[in-house]
Amino acid sequence: MTAMQTAPRTVSAFGVWVMAVRPRTLSLSIVPVLVGLCLAWVETGRIDWVVGVAALVGAMGIQVGTNLHNDAADFEHGGDGPLRLGPPRVTALGLLSAAQVKRGAYLCFGLAAASGLILVQSGGWPILGVGIVAILAGLAYSAGPWRIAYSPLGELFVVLFFGIVAVGATYWLNARNLNPAAWIAGTAIGLFAAAVLLVNNHRDVESDALVGRRTLAMVAGPRLTPLIYDALVLLPFGLVAALGALLPAGHPWWLAYGALPIALLLVKGFAGHPRARGLNLYLARTAMLQLAFGLLLCVGLLL
Protein backbone atom coordinates (compact mmCIF):
# COMPACT_ATOMS: atom_id res chain seq x y z
CA MET A 1 0.00 0.00 0.00
CA THR A 2 1.39 3.41 -0.93
CA ALA A 3 -1.72 5.56 -0.86
CA MET A 4 -1.14 8.99 0.62
CA GLN A 5 -3.47 10.76 3.00
CA THR A 6 -5.36 13.43 1.12
CA ALA A 7 -7.24 16.38 2.52
CA PRO A 8 -10.83 17.16 1.61
CA ARG A 9 -11.01 19.70 -1.20
CA THR A 10 -12.93 22.23 0.88
CA VAL A 11 -13.06 22.18 4.64
CA SER A 12 -13.86 25.00 7.05
CA ALA A 13 -11.83 25.77 10.16
CA PHE A 14 -14.64 24.29 12.23
CA GLY A 15 -14.71 21.21 10.02
CA VAL A 16 -10.98 20.71 10.53
CA TRP A 17 -11.41 20.58 14.31
CA VAL A 18 -14.42 18.28 13.96
CA MET A 19 -12.22 15.94 11.92
CA ALA A 20 -9.51 16.16 14.57
CA VAL A 21 -11.72 15.12 17.50
CA ARG A 22 -12.87 11.92 15.69
CA PRO A 23 -16.63 12.29 16.32
CA ARG A 24 -17.56 8.79 15.13
CA THR A 25 -16.07 7.28 18.28
CA LEU A 26 -17.04 9.89 20.90
CA SER A 27 -19.75 7.53 22.11
CA LEU A 28 -16.94 5.52 23.72
CA SER A 29 -16.74 8.13 26.50
CA ILE A 30 -20.48 8.92 26.63
CA VAL A 31 -21.83 5.39 27.05
CA PRO A 32 -19.93 4.45 30.25
CA VAL A 33 -21.13 7.60 32.01
CA LEU A 34 -24.74 6.90 31.03
CA VAL A 35 -24.49 3.30 32.22
CA GLY A 36 -22.97 4.42 35.53
CA LEU A 37 -25.80 6.91 36.06
CA CYS A 38 -28.48 4.34 35.27
CA LEU A 39 -26.94 1.78 37.61
CA ALA A 40 -26.91 4.39 40.37
CA TRP A 41 -30.58 5.11 39.70
CA VAL A 42 -31.37 1.41 40.19
CA GLU A 43 -29.51 1.51 43.52
CA THR A 44 -30.73 4.86 44.90
CA GLY A 45 -33.77 5.88 42.86
CA ARG A 46 -32.19 9.22 42.01
CA ILE A 47 -29.52 10.77 39.76
CA ASP A 48 -27.46 13.86 40.56
CA TRP A 49 -27.63 15.56 37.18
CA VAL A 50 -24.99 18.18 38.00
CA VAL A 51 -22.56 15.40 38.78
CA GLY A 52 -23.74 13.48 35.72
CA VAL A 53 -23.13 16.38 33.34
CA ALA A 54 -19.74 17.12 34.92
CA ALA A 55 -18.73 13.47 34.58
CA LEU A 56 -19.83 13.48 30.93
CA VAL A 57 -17.86 16.66 30.17
CA GLY A 58 -14.83 15.26 31.96
CA ALA A 59 -14.94 11.91 30.14
CA MET A 60 -15.40 13.52 26.73
CA GLY A 61 -12.70 16.09 27.48
CA ILE A 62 -10.21 13.33 28.27
CA GLN A 63 -11.12 11.35 25.13
CA VAL A 64 -10.93 14.35 22.82
CA GLY A 65 -7.73 15.54 24.49
CA THR A 66 -6.21 12.09 24.00
CA ASN A 67 -7.30 12.01 20.35
CA LEU A 68 -5.80 15.43 19.62
CA HIS A 69 -2.57 14.71 21.46
CA ASN A 70 -2.33 11.40 19.57
CA ASP A 71 -2.85 13.21 16.26
CA ALA A 72 0.05 15.58 16.90
CA ALA A 73 2.36 13.10 18.62
CA ASP A 74 1.93 10.43 15.95
CA PHE A 75 2.82 12.97 13.28
CA GLU A 76 5.95 14.00 15.19
CA HIS A 77 7.00 10.35 15.55
CA GLY A 78 6.34 9.60 11.87
CA GLY A 79 3.34 7.38 12.65
CA ASP A 80 0.98 8.91 10.09
CA GLY A 81 2.99 8.23 6.98
CA PRO A 82 1.87 7.19 3.49
CA LEU A 83 1.16 3.58 4.47
CA ARG A 84 -1.47 4.53 7.03
CA LEU A 85 -4.91 3.18 6.11
CA GLY A 86 -7.01 4.95 8.73
CA PRO A 87 -9.03 8.13 8.38
CA PRO A 88 -6.90 11.20 7.58
CA ARG A 89 -5.33 13.10 10.48
CA VAL A 90 -5.31 16.88 10.45
CA THR A 91 -1.65 17.29 11.43
CA ALA A 92 -0.40 14.87 8.79
CA LEU A 93 -2.54 16.63 6.19
CA GLY A 94 -1.06 20.01 7.13
CA LEU A 95 -4.47 21.41 8.01
CA LEU A 96 -3.23 22.29 11.50
CA SER A 97 0.25 22.40 13.00
CA ALA A 98 1.30 19.98 15.71
CA ALA A 99 1.54 22.92 18.12
CA GLN A 100 -2.04 23.98 17.37
CA VAL A 101 -3.38 20.47 17.84
CA LYS A 102 -1.48 20.07 21.11
CA ARG A 103 -2.91 23.35 22.38
CA GLY A 104 -6.35 21.99 21.57
CA ALA A 105 -5.51 18.82 23.49
CA TYR A 106 -4.36 20.76 26.54
CA LEU A 107 -7.52 22.87 26.39
CA CYS A 108 -9.63 19.71 26.45
CA PHE A 109 -7.64 18.24 29.32
CA GLY A 110 -8.07 21.56 31.14
CA LEU A 111 -11.83 21.41 30.58
CA ALA A 112 -11.84 17.88 31.96
CA ALA A 113 -9.88 19.06 34.99
CA ALA A 114 -12.29 21.96 35.56
CA SER A 115 -15.29 19.64 35.46
CA GLY A 116 -13.37 17.37 37.78
CA LEU A 117 -13.37 20.08 40.44
CA ILE A 118 -17.16 19.74 40.62
CA LEU A 119 -16.77 15.99 40.96
CA VAL A 120 -14.15 16.34 43.70
CA GLN A 121 -16.55 18.52 45.69
CA SER A 122 -19.07 15.71 45.46
CA GLY A 123 -16.89 12.61 45.69
CA GLY A 124 -13.84 13.77 47.61
CA TRP A 125 -10.13 13.13 47.14
CA PRO A 126 -10.45 9.64 45.61
CA ILE A 127 -12.11 11.25 42.58
CA LEU A 128 -9.24 13.75 42.34
CA GLY A 129 -6.79 10.85 42.17
CA VAL A 130 -8.85 9.10 39.49
CA GLY A 131 -9.02 12.28 37.41
CA ILE A 132 -5.29 12.98 37.61
CA VAL A 133 -4.39 9.41 36.64
CA ALA A 134 -6.88 9.47 33.73
CA ILE A 135 -5.44 12.70 32.31
CA LEU A 136 -1.86 11.46 32.72
CA ALA A 137 -2.83 8.24 30.93
CA GLY A 138 -4.29 10.33 28.10
CA LEU A 139 -1.00 12.20 27.75
CA ALA A 140 1.06 9.02 28.06
CA TYR A 141 -0.97 7.26 25.38
CA SER A 142 1.16 8.72 22.59
CA ALA A 143 4.03 10.52 24.35
CA GLY A 144 6.60 10.04 27.06
CA PRO A 145 9.12 7.27 27.68
CA TRP A 146 6.47 4.49 27.83
CA ARG A 147 3.97 5.31 25.10
CA ILE A 148 0.89 3.16 25.68
CA ALA A 149 -0.14 3.30 22.01
CA TYR A 150 3.23 1.81 21.04
CA SER A 151 2.83 -1.22 23.32
CA PRO A 152 0.54 -4.28 23.53
CA LEU A 153 -1.15 -2.70 26.58
CA GLY A 154 -3.37 -0.23 24.73
CA GLU A 155 -6.49 -2.41 24.83
CA LEU A 156 -5.99 -3.10 28.55
CA PHE A 157 -5.82 0.62 29.32
CA VAL A 158 -8.95 1.21 27.27
CA VAL A 159 -10.89 -1.44 29.21
CA LEU A 160 -9.71 0.16 32.43
CA PHE A 161 -10.32 3.85 31.69
CA PHE A 162 -13.15 3.74 29.13
CA GLY A 163 -14.96 1.01 31.03
CA ILE A 164 -14.25 0.13 34.63
CA VAL A 165 -13.08 3.55 35.81
CA ALA A 166 -15.65 5.59 33.86
CA VAL A 167 -18.63 3.47 34.89
CA GLY A 168 -17.35 2.85 38.42
CA ALA A 169 -16.51 6.48 39.19
CA THR A 170 -19.83 7.74 37.83
CA TYR A 171 -21.65 5.14 39.88
CA TRP A 172 -19.64 5.99 43.02
CA LEU A 173 -20.39 9.69 42.68
CA ASN A 174 -24.12 8.99 42.73
CA ALA A 175 -24.50 5.88 44.91
CA ARG A 176 -21.48 6.22 47.25
CA ASN A 177 -20.61 2.53 47.21
CA LEU A 178 -18.63 0.07 45.08
CA ASN A 179 -21.31 -2.37 44.03
CA PRO A 180 -19.83 -5.25 41.98
CA ALA A 181 -22.53 -4.55 39.39
CA ALA A 182 -20.71 -1.36 38.42
CA TRP A 183 -17.43 -3.18 37.85
CA ILE A 184 -19.13 -5.87 35.77
CA ALA A 185 -20.95 -3.29 33.64
CA GLY A 186 -17.76 -1.26 33.31
CA THR A 187 -15.81 -4.27 32.10
CA ALA A 188 -18.49 -5.08 29.52
CA ILE A 189 -18.53 -1.53 28.16
CA GLY A 190 -14.74 -1.32 28.18
CA LEU A 191 -14.35 -4.54 26.19
CA PHE A 192 -16.26 -2.98 23.30
CA ALA A 193 -14.02 0.09 23.42
CA ALA A 194 -10.96 -2.16 23.38
CA ALA A 195 -12.37 -3.91 20.30
CA VAL A 196 -12.47 -0.54 18.52
CA LEU A 197 -8.79 -0.01 19.27
CA LEU A 198 -7.95 -3.55 18.20
CA VAL A 199 -9.56 -2.97 14.80
CA ASN A 200 -7.55 0.24 14.46
CA ASN A 201 -4.28 -1.47 15.32
CA HIS A 202 -5.01 -4.55 13.17
CA ARG A 203 -5.61 -2.28 10.19
CA ASP A 204 -2.34 -0.38 10.72
CA VAL A 205 0.06 -3.26 11.45
CA GLU A 206 2.31 -2.50 8.48
CA SER A 207 2.61 1.24 9.05
CA ASP A 208 2.95 0.79 12.83
CA ALA A 209 5.88 -1.57 12.37
CA LEU A 210 7.79 1.17 10.53
CA VAL A 211 7.69 3.49 13.57
CA GLY A 212 8.56 0.92 16.20
CA ARG A 213 5.12 0.15 17.52
CA ARG A 214 4.46 -3.22 19.14
CA THR A 215 0.68 -3.31 19.50
CA LEU A 216 -1.45 -6.24 20.60
CA ALA A 217 -2.45 -6.88 16.99
CA MET A 218 1.20 -7.13 16.01
CA VAL A 219 2.05 -9.48 18.89
CA ALA A 220 -1.01 -11.67 18.30
CA GLY A 221 -0.62 -11.87 14.54
CA PRO A 222 -3.26 -12.06 11.80
CA ARG A 223 -4.72 -15.42 12.88
CA LEU A 224 -5.13 -14.73 16.59
CA THR A 225 -6.27 -11.10 16.33
CA PRO A 226 -9.75 -11.96 14.93
CA LEU A 227 -10.22 -14.41 17.81
CA ILE A 228 -9.35 -11.67 20.30
CA TYR A 229 -11.82 -9.39 18.54
CA ASP A 230 -14.49 -12.09 18.83
CA ALA A 231 -13.87 -12.34 22.57
CA LEU A 232 -13.97 -8.57 23.06
CA VAL A 233 -17.35 -8.13 21.35
CA LEU A 234 -19.02 -11.32 22.64
CA LEU A 235 -17.89 -11.50 26.28
CA PRO A 236 -20.00 -8.46 27.24
CA PHE A 237 -23.13 -10.48 26.48
CA GLY A 238 -22.02 -13.05 29.03
CA LEU A 239 -21.15 -10.35 31.56
CA VAL A 240 -24.57 -8.73 31.23
CA ALA A 241 -26.15 -11.98 32.41
CA ALA A 242 -23.93 -11.85 35.51
CA LEU A 243 -24.96 -8.23 35.94
CA GLY A 244 -28.62 -9.18 35.74
CA ALA A 245 -28.16 -11.63 38.60
CA LEU A 246 -27.07 -8.74 40.84
CA LEU A 247 -29.91 -6.40 39.95
CA PRO A 248 -33.29 -6.21 41.69
CA ALA A 249 -35.97 -8.32 40.02
CA GLY A 250 -38.07 -6.63 37.39
CA HIS A 251 -35.41 -4.70 35.46
CA PRO A 252 -35.28 -6.00 31.86
CA TRP A 253 -31.47 -5.90 31.62
CA TRP A 254 -31.74 -8.55 28.92
CA LEU A 255 -32.73 -5.83 26.44
CA ALA A 256 -28.97 -5.45 25.91
CA TYR A 257 -29.11 -8.72 23.98
CA GLY A 258 -30.84 -6.77 21.24
CA ALA A 259 -27.32 -5.75 20.14
CA LEU A 260 -26.16 -9.38 19.80
CA PRO A 261 -27.12 -9.74 16.09
CA ILE A 262 -24.89 -6.75 15.30
CA ALA A 263 -22.02 -8.38 17.19
CA LEU A 264 -22.45 -11.66 15.33
CA LEU A 265 -22.43 -9.92 11.97
CA LEU A 266 -19.25 -8.05 12.89
CA VAL A 267 -17.56 -11.23 14.08
CA LYS A 268 -18.42 -13.00 10.84
CA GLY A 269 -17.20 -10.16 8.63
CA PHE A 270 -14.07 -9.21 10.55
CA ALA A 271 -12.59 -12.71 10.49
CA GLY A 272 -12.10 -12.75 6.73
CA HIS A 273 -11.54 -9.06 6.06
CA PRO A 274 -8.11 -8.08 4.72
CA ARG A 275 -6.06 -5.37 6.40
CA ALA A 276 -7.29 -2.56 4.20
CA ARG A 277 -9.24 0.70 4.36
CA GLY A 278 -12.46 -1.30 4.57
CA LEU A 279 -11.64 -1.97 8.22
CA ASN A 280 -12.49 1.67 8.94
CA LEU A 281 -16.11 0.64 8.52
CA TYR A 282 -15.66 -2.11 11.12
CA LEU A 283 -14.09 0.41 13.47
CA ALA A 284 -17.13 2.69 13.23
CA ARG A 285 -19.59 -0.20 13.46
CA THR A 286 -17.87 -1.61 16.54
CA ALA A 287 -18.29 1.79 18.21
CA MET A 288 -21.96 1.68 17.14
CA LEU A 289 -22.25 -1.79 18.70
CA GLN A 290 -21.07 -0.42 22.03
CA LEU A 291 -23.54 2.44 21.72
CA ALA A 292 -26.43 0.08 20.95
CA PHE A 293 -25.50 -2.28 23.79
CA GLY A 294 -25.09 0.59 26.26
CA LEU A 295 -28.32 2.36 25.35
CA LEU A 296 -30.35 -0.85 25.44
CA LEU A 297 -28.84 -1.70 28.82
CA CYS A 298 -29.71 1.78 30.09
CA VAL A 299 -33.31 1.38 28.93
CA GLY A 300 -33.49 -1.96 30.73
CA LEU A 301 -32.12 -0.43 33.91
CA LEU A 302 -34.53 2.51 33.85
CA LEU A 303 -37.71 0.50 33.14
Q: List per-residue pLDDT tens for the chain, 303 residues long.
A: 334 455 555 778 889 999 999 999 999 999 999 999 999 999 999 999 999 999 999 999 999 999 999 999 988 887 666 666 778 789 988 999 999 999 999 999 999 999 999 999 988 888 999 999 999 999 999 988 889 999 999 999 999 999 999 999 999 999 998 899 999 999 999 999 999 999 999 999 988 888 889 999 999 999 999 999 999 999 999 999 999 999 998 899 999 999 999 999 999 999 988 888 889 999 999 999 999 999 999 999 999
Exposed (0-12), middle (13-18) or buried (19+): which is 153, by Cβ within 10 Å?
middle
The model carries a pTM of 0.93
Give the angle subtended at the CA of 216 by the CAs of 211 and 218, to the nearest 5°: 55
Q: CA separation (Å) from 133 to 33, 62, 161, 186, 267?
A: 17, 11, 10, 17, 33
CA 72 to chain CA mean position, Å: 19
Contacts of 209 (CB under 8 A, 6+ apart): 218
